[in-house]
Amino acid sequence: MIRIGENEIQVVRKADGSATVWIDGVAQDAALRDGPAGADLQVGDRSERIWYVVDGDTVYVHAFGRAHAVPVVDPEERKAREAGGEDTVVAPTPGTVVTVSVADGDEVQDRQVLLVIESMKMQSEITASRAGVVERVHLQVGESFEKGAALVSLVAEDEEAAEEEEIA
């Protein structure tokens, strides 16, 4: 939830690609139509030309004469993360693995590139959400996957601490 002017805004993605926009607790259907110069955002009966960039769960939007960082809730992605735990990196969209930069047992740093995927003819780097040790790389180069599929799992933090204590 963010505040834009006097309004509290929350955006919830739907499985069909549309969204529900909650403005001050009132739900409104929303649709986005990309064009050659920006996009048209339809919220309820109002249409506005906007420009946007998606970065994970945040959409940076220039609309209504101002720039905004809008957190977006994706129920399916949230469900997949909860099922795999926060130590499992899941696919944000369906796609194909282009490169794998880590192997089981590798130590990784926060935001280190784990693999590169291709989705909708665009390549995206998938990075570690924290420093840790790779427990398992679930897919190899050329394999396809669906949204929410497990890509890379890190050793759970409590398991990692226990292993360090055993070594000491």
**Cα–Cα distance, 106 to 42 (Å, whole number):** 46
Tokens, residue 5: 């002017």
* Element housing 80 (H / E): helix 75-84
| DSSP code, position 87 | T
Q: What is the mean pLDDT of residues 140-155?
A: 90
At residue 107, the pLDDT reads 95
Residue 37: CA count within 13 A, CB half-sphere: 0
Residue-averaged pLDDT of the chain? 79
Which residues, other chains included, contact 62 with Cβ-Cβ below 8 Å and sequence gap of 6+? Answer: 50, 51, 52, 68
101-146 pLDDT, tens digit per residue, is 999 999 999 889 999 999 878 888 898 888 999 999 999 999 998 8
At residue 119, the pLDDT reads 84
Residue 116 and residue 126 in contact, taking contact as beta carbons nearer than 8 Å: yes
Q: Tell which CATH architecture fits domain 78-167.
A: Beta Barrel (2.40)
φ and ψ at residue 80, rounded to 5 degrees = -65, -40
With a cut of 70, say whether residue 4 has pLDDT above it.
no
- Residue ranges per domain, the chain? 2-73, 78-167
57-88 pLDDT, tens digit per residue, is 677 888 777 887 877 666 655 555 555 556 88
